Structure 1
Amino acid sequence: MFVRTAGERDLAAVRALLVETWHATYDSIYGAAKVTEITDEWHSIASLKARLTRPNSEFLVADDGKRIGGMTFAAATTDAKIIMLNQLYVHPACQRQGIGQALLEEVEASFPEARTLRVEVEEANAQAVAFYRSKGFLPAGNTADCGGGSGLPALIFEKTIG
């Protein structure tokens, strides 16, 4: 898989990846109905399309020419030295193949002025917590409102970059 900038033609495949990955990851935590509600809002084509043109951001996909195996979206915060990793998802069938690492490396390279990469992770998502810890992220607190507006609690991890 190679990492490239996402385009409008990728949005249906990205949405499908997010819906499937979210159900595989979060149905046991939130229940399938809540996951469907979240993915219908957060991962709608319109919501994804808005990210394509967001200033100071990167929307990337991992693509092998046949399928999108992973995606990430990151954006500068009000402090350009702090980048928020809003999403990094790898299709369940493509996990443990280095795709998450490749996406993470490209995000870091995309923001040369940044010094901190921040991510919010559902505490019960042990696989994601382990992934971020293995990539050098350290606990930096928690939030009661993951992503701003979800009302879902999350752990905050940060990694020094640059």
Structure 2
Amino acid sequence: MFVRTAGDRDLAAVRALLVETWHATYDAIYGAERVTEITNEWHSIASLKARLAKPNSEFLVADDGKRIGGMAFAEAVDGGGVVMLRQLYVLPSLQGRGIGGMLLDEIIESFPEAHRIRLEVEEKNTRAVAFYQANGFVQIGRTENCGSASSAIPALIYERVLAA
């Protein structure tokens, strides 16, 4: 797998990856119907396309030349001092092979002015929590509305200080 910037031609594959990964991860937590609602809203082609053009952001895919195995999206906030990691997903069949780490490293390198990187993660997503903790993130808080102001999805807020 190699990491590169996403383009329009990747959006259908990225959406398929997100739908598969969300169902594999969250069906047991929220139920398949709610996961379908969320993926239809948050991971529509139109939603993904809007991220491609968003200023001060980076949209990456992990690609082996045959398929997209992972994706990440982040944006600079607070004048560029903080990177908000909005998405980092790897196909369930490819998890544990270093793809998430590659995506995370490339996101961090894409924002050299940032002093810290922050994210929200579902507390019951124990694999993701363990991944972020293993990559130097510490919990700094919680939110009752992960992803959007009215999602009613609770999450932990994690942060990692970046080298100056």
TM-score (norm 2): 0.97
Shift of 1:34: 0.2
Supply the distance in 2 between the matched residues of 1:148 and 1:158 (Cα, whole angstroms).
18
Q: Helix, strand or coil: the match of 1:111?
A: coil
| Counterpart Cα distance in 2 of 1:114 and 1:147 | 21
Partner residue, 2:157: 156
Query: Aligned partners of 1:103, 1:142: CA distance in 2, in Å?
Result: 24
Q: TM-score, normalised by structure 1?
A: 0.98
Q: Tell me, what secondary structure is at the counterpart of 1:4?
A: strand
Which segments of 5 or more consecutive residues in structure 1 lack a partner in the other structure?
none
Distance in 2, Cα, partners of 1:6 & 1:50? 12
Matched residue, 1:115:
115
Report deviation, 1:9: 0.0
* Aligned pairs for 1:45-84 within 5 A: 45-84=45-84
Aligned-residue sequence identity (percent) comes to: 67
Q: Distance in 2 between matches of 1:32 and 1:114?
A: 37
Residue 37 of structure 1 corresponds to 37
Q: Give the match's secondary structure for 1:13.
A: helix
Runs of 4+ in structure 1 deviating by more than 2 angstroms, as ranges, are: none
Give the SS at the match of 2:124: coil
SS at structure 1 position matched to 2:33 = helix
CA distance in 1, matches of 2:77, 2:148: 13
Deviations 1:28-75 (A, max 9, x none): 000000000000000000000000000000000000000000000000
- Matches of 1:144 and 1:78, distance apart in 2: 21
User: How far 1:113 sits from its partner (Å)?
Assistant: 0.2
Tell me the secondary structure at the aligned position of residue 114 of structure 1.
coil
Q: Secondary structure at the match of 1:79?
A: helix
- Determine the structure 1 residue equivalent to 2:96: 96
- After superposition, give the CA deviation of every residue in 1:69-124 in whole Å (9 maximum; x if it has no partner): 00000001133101100000000011111000000000000000001100100000
Distance in 1, matches of 2:35 and 2:148, equals 17
Q: Tell me the C-alpha RMSD between the 2 structures.
A: 0.7
1:148 is displaced (CA, Å) by: 2.2
